[in-house]
């Protein structure tokens, strides 16, 4: 039932190409902005923005890994990679401000962020459940299992779609607050915009990849029910 299918790469090609381009742009703009000095480190900028927003109770902690920066709504903590945490560069303050943007969304009850939280289990377990159900459905020639598997993968697609406004809004908040608080000058603002816009394209590519993957498997298994009949 499973074999090398050129149609998979044909359907997924736009997403793969977009992701490769987006990742190149992220690395390129990030490397450039890491060479541009800023008046504060990433951690200091995050702390300053949080305090100005009345979020003095939100902690900032360093975390392992490169570009592993994230905000955890579970413990209301901004986690910054070591390089971003300590570096006094435009890239560091831009990424830190983006993560603080998520903390601000959480504090203000930003609806898409709450919707994304509900969709996290579907994104985490959906692909694994999809694989199990697809394999069982294919082996047993059971269309209902196939449909359930496709629905499970659809949860990941929903998560990716809901995630887009969350990420773009956090980036917009970061760009705005960095300029309003004079953390970056005009040239720095341009560099921050380049880094965050490049990162935004990776989310678009991930969403497109998830949607096209689902489309491929719908196409791949759409005839199974008819075959049983």
pLDDT tens per residue across span 95-117: 999 999 999 999 999 999 999 99
pLDDT in tens, 8-38: 999 999 999 999 999 999 999 999 999 999 9
Tokens of 181: 């608080």
Asked whether residue 224 carries a pLDDT value surpassing 70, the answer given is: no
The enclosing H or E element of 73 equals none
**Catalytic residue (one of 61, 66, 83, 99):** 99
User: Where does the pLDDT of residue 225 fall: very low under 50, low under 70, confident under 90, or very high at 90 and above?
Assistant: very low
User: Where does the pLDDT of residue 141 fall: very low under 50, low under 70, confident under 90, or very high at 90 and above?
Assistant: confident
pLDDT in tens, 209-223: 999 999 999 988 876
Residue ranges with strand state E in the chain: 60-63, 70-72, 77-81
Query: What integer pLDDT is reported at residue 138 of this predicted model?
Result: 83
99 is catalytic: yes
Query: What integer pLDDT is reported at residue 229 of this predicted model?
Result: 45
**Helical packing angle, 186-221 and 90-107, nearest 10°:** 60
CB-CB contact of 146 with 131 (8 Å): no
pLDDT in tens, 69-80: 999 999 999 999
Domain residue spans of the chain: 6-228
Distance CA 70, CA 108 (A): 18
Largest CA distance in the chain: 70
- The CA-based angle 9-14-15, given to 5 degrees, is 90
Question: Running DSSP on this structure, what letter comes out for residue 4?
Answer: -
pLDDT in tens, 168-208: 999 999 999 999 999 999 999 999 999 999 999 999 999 99
Query: What integer pLDDT is reported at residue 67 of this predicted model?
Result: 85
How crowded is residue 206: how many other Cβ atoms within 10 Å of its Cβ?
A: 19
Q: 40, 52, 38: which is closest to 107 by C-alpha?
A: 52
Tokens of 135: 């394999």
């Amino acid at each position: 039932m499973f074999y090398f299918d050129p149609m998979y790469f044909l359907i997924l090609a736009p997403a793969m190409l977009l992701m490769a381009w987006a990742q190149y742009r992220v690395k390129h703009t990030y490397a450039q902005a890491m060479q541009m000095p800023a008046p504060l480190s990433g951690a200091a900028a995050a702390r300053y923005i949080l305090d100005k927003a009345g979020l003095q109770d939100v902690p900032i902690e360093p975390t392992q890994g490169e570009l592993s920066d994230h905000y955890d709504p579970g413990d209301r903590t901004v986690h910054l990679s070591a390089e971003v945490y300590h570096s006094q560069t435009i890239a560091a303050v831009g990424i830190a401000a983006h993560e603080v943007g998520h903390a601000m969304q959480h504090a203000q009850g930003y609806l898409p962020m709450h919707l994304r939280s509900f969709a996290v289990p579907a994104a985490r377990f959906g692909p694994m459940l999809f694989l199990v159900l697809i394999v069982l459905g294919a082996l047993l020639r059971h269309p209902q299992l196939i449909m359930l598997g496709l629905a499970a993968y659809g949860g990941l697609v929903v998560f990716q779609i809901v995630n887009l406004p969350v990420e773009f809004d956090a980036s917009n908040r970061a760009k705005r607050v960095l300029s309003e608080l004079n953390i970056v000058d005009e040239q720095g603002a341009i560099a921050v915009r380049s880094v965050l816009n490049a990162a935004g394209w990776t989310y678009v590519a991930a969403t497109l990849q998830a949607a096209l993957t689902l489309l491929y498997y719908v196409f791949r298994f759409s005839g199974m029910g008819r075959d049983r009949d």
